[in-house]
Amino acid sequence: MATSLSQITDRMDNLYEFDREPVSLDKLQTGARFAGLFAGEHVAATEFVIGAFFVLHGVSLHDLLLGLMLGNLLAVLSWTFICAPIATQTRLTLYWYLRKMAGPGLNVIYNLANAILYCILAGAMIGVSATALGLVFGIDIPSLDDVFPSSLGWVCLTLAIGILFTVLAVLGFEKLSRFAQVCSPWIFVLFIAGALALLPRLGVHANFDNFFAVAKTKIWSGVAAEGQEKFRMAHVLFFAWFCNLAMHIGLSDMALFRYAKKWTYGLYSAFGMYGGHFLAWICSGIMVAAIGREMHPGLMAFEAAGLAGAAGVFIAGWTTANPTLYRAGLALQVITPNWPRWKVTLTAGLLTTILSCFPVFFVKLLDYVAIYGLVLMPIGAIVLAEHWFFPLFKIEQFQAEKNKKLFNGRALIVWIGTLAVCSFLPLHLFFRWLPGYCLALIAYILLHVIRKKEGAKPRDSKEVI
């Protein structure tokens, strides 16, 4: 068991070999590049769904604006004060930094968890694209309560789109990435144009003098759609904060910020949070209200901008599913020995395609995003504890690396234990990650403090856990 796991970790190390060394100073990037990256990355297909869901969940205008302002601010501060400082000090990716602390074995588990979560996310994006193509073929999209496929048409459509996206990702991931760069400013404009064009349908005058009155009564009225839970300011605030939890608190954006000249570059994430999420979610909220509160991104965009709008939803799903498929493939490569890149991407794509048939991932996207962040969050707490708090408490850092351990048992206990506690917390799903994060942070430090006090000697170097 230990030997086969060692082989897996060796293979994984080879995969990530190219970024093993800390980034050299001559490769650091300018702030403008970070601003562009964030602005482009945070206007995706899922934005069509998230903003619309806030309307369906009966968020009031006051709660929406305040929640988005504060939530996005907290996200920006998380990037700036948690992720960027660690990245600029170490100049390493999370993969290599976590390996020092948790051991290569835990890294494998983390990668596999990430791969599965990526596949589900890409599946949700295929679902969004399917709503656009469904218009052409007259296929009904699933209702908000559907877990399993509701019609054969939906299954055929998602399978066809999934296979198409997979084949295109296999044929040319890099070309598609360049195409995505071309698409992102246009998709951003599509959101704004679509919302503006649908304002007259809601009764907004050309001079916008009654905009806020209409927004309060016809868009963010504070009344939830039938069967939908009522959301308040705290829900919006927490959602905006944890929407990219795996990236900032979970530290996976260390891969990005290791190229930053200084930690304050974390503030450039505001371009993605305010220029992207904030505006896009407001725009999709307007669009869904204008089509009678029906969760149908394809129809929303078609009504807002005609053929270009429907094409925009399809393209947005495609261009955001593509890198997600690539990342899932990369993470899956650890368990597929000697497989070429295309074969791994194909496998990830097929798994994603099957998952995309299940509408639950698309119609329950907000809950899924919360679970995604929650699952990976304890890893961020472990890295934060080891980076900042271990020196304060005079605890030896990187014990897994120094003792050549395959697993850091305490890290694994903290990860699983935190998730177990979070699953039983009597709180709304959106709020569970924060106490969970504090718990993981304290538990990880405490376990090491206790061990230090016990004066236990380092275990045998080949011992597992």
Does 203 bind other proteins (CB under 8 A)? Our answer is: no
Nearest distance, CB of residue 180 and other proteins, angstroms: 11
The single residue among 70, 73, 193, 335 that binds other proteins, judged by CB under 8 A, is: 193
Strand partners of residue 232: none
The single residue among 44, 49, 291, 305 that binds other proteins, judged by CB under 8 A, is: 305
Does 213 bind other proteins (CB under 8 A)? Our answer is: no
Does 37 bind other proteins (CB under 8 A)? Our answer is: no
The single residue among 194, 250, 266, 373 that binds other proteins, judged by CB under 8 A, is: 194
| Sign of CA pseudo-dihedral 144, 160, 128, 289 | negative
Q: Which residue stretch of 98-106, 187-195, 413-421, 455-463 sits at the interface with other proteins (rule: CB under 8 A)?
A: 187-195
Does 202 bind other proteins (CB under 8 A)? Our answer is: no
Q: Which residue stretch of 191-199, 240-248, 288-296, 330-338 sits at the interface with other proteins (rule: CB under 8 A)?
A: 191-199
Residue (16 or 211) nearer to other proteins, CB: 211
CB atoms within 10 A of CB 73: 16
The single residue among 192, 202, 419, 449 that binds other proteins, judged by CB under 8 A, is: 192
Nearest distance, CB of residue 185 and other proteins, angstroms: 6
The single residue among 15, 308, 350, 421 that binds other proteins, judged by CB under 8 A, is: 308
Does 301 bind other proteins (CB under 8 A)? Our answer is: no
Does 27 bind other proteins (CB under 8 A)? Our answer is: no
Nearest distance, CB of residue 210 and other proteins, angstroms: 13
Residue (289 or 348) nearer to other proteins, CB: 289
- Binding mask 147-186 toward other proteins (x if CB under 8 A, else -) reads -------------------------------xx-xx--xx
Nearest distance, CB of residue 341 and other proteins, angstroms: 21
Residue (29 or 336) nearer to other proteins, CB: 29
Binding region for other proteins (CB under 8 A): 178-179, 181-182, 185-186, 189-190, 192-194, 196-197, 199-200, 206, 305-309, 311
